Amino acid sequence: MTKLCVGCRLDRIDSSGSFLCTYNRCRNHPSSEYAMHFKNLQSLEICGGGLTDVGVANITDLRSLMLLNLSLNHCLTDASLELIAGIFI
């Protein structure tokens, strides 16, 4: 991963609509890989982006999240719900 900045505080990522599914084969959305490096992230929106269960696993350590929007990601399974529940406990 390329460093985005040194010493900056990012608290919101919205990558809604950056769709990465082709031919019904889902690939993990790169936003989850970037987001996992910002431990103080408060808001994360990855809508309609082909996010997978692997991508959700990338963000499970983001304990500062107050808003999480993963709507319209048809690649998510029940396993993602279990992972997401662990974030907010």
- Rounded to two decimals, the pTM is 0.72
Residue 79: the pLDDT is 93
Model confidence at 7, in pLDDT bands (50, 70, 90)?
low
pLDDT tens digits for range 10-63: 777 777 765 544 334 455 556 677 777 788 889 988 887 678 888 888 888 888
User: What confidence score (pLDDT) does residue 23 get?
Assistant: 36
Which residues, including other chains, have CB under 8 Å from residue 8's CB and lie 6 or more apart?
A: none
